[in-house]
Amino acid sequence: MVEQAPQPGSSVAAHKAAPPKRSRADSSSSSSNESNRSVRTLASDDVEYIHENGRTYGNDTYYMPCIFLPNNDFRQQDLMAIQHQVFLHALQGKLTTTRLLPSTRRILDLGTGPGHWAIGMAQQYNAEVVGIDMAEWDLDTTEATVGDSKVMWELDDLDVWARETEINALIARLEHFDFFREPTNRNPLGPLSPSDEEHQADTQADASVETFLNDPYSLVARPEPGWHFSDAFEFIHMRNMKAAFMHWEDVYAEIYKSLSPGGWIEVADYDLGHVPLPADNDPANVPLPTLRKLYAAAMEASFKSGRPLGTFYMHPSYLEEAGFTDVKTTQVNVPVGQWPKDEAQRSIGKLMLVVVMETMEAGLPRLLTRWGDKEKIWTLEEVEAGFTLARQEILEWSTRAERGEVEGWCASFKWITGRKSWHRQLTPAAFHCGVRATPPRDSTTYKLQHTTIKAQIQFLAEPFHRMFFLDNLAISYPHAEVERVSVTWLFIYAGAIPLGILTAWALVLRPGTHKAHVTILGWFISMLLTLFITDIIKNAVGRPRPDLIARCKPAPGTPAHQLVTFEVCTETNHHVLHDGWRSFPSGHSSFSFSGLGYLALWIAGQCHVYRPRADLARVLVALAPLLGAALIAISRCEDYRHDVYDVSVGSVLGMAVAHYTYRRYYPALRSRECDVPFPNPGDEADRKGFMKVKDDEEALRGAQEFELDEFSGEEEEGGSGGRGSRR
């Protein structure tokens, strides 16, 4: 029911066209001296509100109203202030279920509303907090009530995806869905059918072709709509956002892109649950019949609008598909009414009772008068009459529950959190003329890319974070900023120097193509294999380094006698922090013994150190690389990077790999030919083939000479007989 423009002081509202959807990059800038306005925000004049049924709405799709400053209509702001108190009581005064690091610097509150949560976070954390909403709220009143803060407020509609969903398919699912028993099932928002997906893909392809025809000189795809924040956030929060978006896959993907590595997302909302049914299951005795009817009608209307109500959008699969890890849920039952005996629960139940009734009064009119249920489009009078009966039923049920005549009614509050990986995900994608080209699943190229990406992810995987005690003296050593042997010098000592010696000896002093090839190849295999094995073990074991606590910089007040996780750390350098769980085995030790150990084995073989009566000089030259590797390993204990156990295992690992690769190409050191590599099987085959050909040629040549000799003998005998007869 759309109405004309309201006058200040009137409860009637005007209809204005909804603002066009645009990306944040196209938003104009404005600033205000009254509050902290971001330079990326829209101006107040850019937003055009829609007025229906005596309430004001921020656009033409969202079912909940907002405030209207010219008319002093603050009913929705009062409701959200009470709702904020219920969320606080449910978490026993906490604003979030996520344990944020004190070093958190940027926080985003999506759909901030009056900004109660954003202001609370800004007061609790020394971070830049950004609150964004599609409508303008009375922020001055909120700050005067909750307290002043330095929140950056932005005004923008984040529903920038203009694609429409398949409404008919969504409505068809109504017949197979129970609103009262499946409030969190993802089925209503499940993926499209294969035919729908094909249709959507064809539509996108046609759009791409049309774009190319309109601008044939542009081969670059137009950027997809998004939020385009200038800087990443470490924590993004959403609350009470049911039915705010149509395509939640896009929303979670955009949130994932807007988070910094290691950042967290938290989504909070609630559903009304269901009033306990009587034991006899008699339909005539179903409690709160009018409320159940209104609830079902509202759900059906939301399905017809393309934005289903309920907490479907909080299904863990959405976060997992977007790439989030460590997905966890927290649920708290909140009483509706003052039926609990506990005084604190009675207080929160009273607030929740107000929230239920005020939310119905605010949200039902647009849903039922614009979209209606499966049977009809409601009038405003029908909605108000139904709400009046429902209010009476709720109050009566609450009173009976207080007397113990019926079972109490609880609403279910839910929080779901997820973390973005510390390492960015590698996703291969190819584009041609603005159209995404997806390689076939069974192609060799795709399989090779997939295998390569899995290997990269495995090698760059973040280590397992063991829990630890702050009073553990074994990990309480100081963190040395300057190492005795840095990574650069390690590659020089254990990499460049051995490679130079091997190359010079094999190519200059004792030249030989095959020998130079297998010597350098064996050394490279030894180094790469050691690096790979060491890194895999480090990440899998996750043993804390001796200087872990110094790296961690735990937050003040962290208990010293309890097991804690890395979330108590305040270190902002992610590499320094997470490297604290990569102690076993020592990488310096394994790398140095792999490179220098291989060199020692090779020198020992070239000098024949195991032959009888070998002079001492040869032995010392062969042992010199091992002494250098041992000094590098010892330096790791002196820098408090590792303990003796880490260094010992790393040294044995590196030496074992070096010996394995050396013996693949050279005989044992006790062999008389230990300085000569094994012959190349290909060369041996070629040599044997050449000798066979030579033998065949000689045999053929001998047969030909025999035939020639026999032929010559016959000619001589024939010549003698002829001369005799002539005589």
Active centre residues (catalytic): 588, 642
The whole-angstrom separation of Cα 369 and Cα 358 is: 18
Long-range contacts of 274-280 (CB under 8 A, 24+ apart): 274/180, 274/181, 275/397, 275/409, 276/406, 276/407, 276/409
DSSP line for 190-258? PPPPHHHHHHHHHHHHHHHHHHHHH-TT--SPPPPP----SS-EEEEEEES-TTS-S-HHHHHHHHHHH
Task: Report d(CA 95, CA 118) in Å as an integer.
Answer: 9
- In angstroms, the CA 139 to CA 145 distance is 10
CB 629 within 8 Å of CB 636: no
CB-based burial label for 69 (10 Å; 0-12, 13-18, 19+): middle
Amino acid at 2: V
> CA 109 to CA 233: how far, in whole Å?
10
Tell me if 410 sits within 8 A of 398, measured CB to CB: no
CA distance 334 to 412: 6
Q: Classify 154 as helix, strand or coil.
A: strand
Of 574, 573, 569, 572, nearest to 556 (Cα)?
569
CA separation for the pair 170, 180 (Å, rounded): 18
- The DSSP secondary structure of 345-373, one letter per residue, reads HHHHHHHHHHHHHHHHHHHHHHIIIII--
Coil/strand/helix, residue 673:
coil
- Write the secondary structure of 82-99 as one string of H (helix), E (strand) and C (coil): HHHHHHHHHCCCCCCCCC
- Closest Cα partner for 386 from 288, 284, 294? 294
- Which of 480, 714, 497, 709 lies closest to 591, judged by CA? 497
Residues 555, 567: Cα–Cα separation, whole Å: 9
223 neighbors 251 (Cβ within 8 angstroms): no
CA distances from 316 to 159, 187, 261 (A): 21, 13, 20
For residue 369, what are the contacts with CB-CB under 8 A and spacing of at least 6? 1, 52, 53, 377, 378, 379, 380, 383
Please answer whether residues 313 and 252 qualify as being in contact, where contact means their C-beta atoms are separated by less than 8 angstroms. no
Residue bearing tokens 């869905």: 177
Residue 368: left (phi > 0), alpha (psi -120 to 50), or beta? alpha
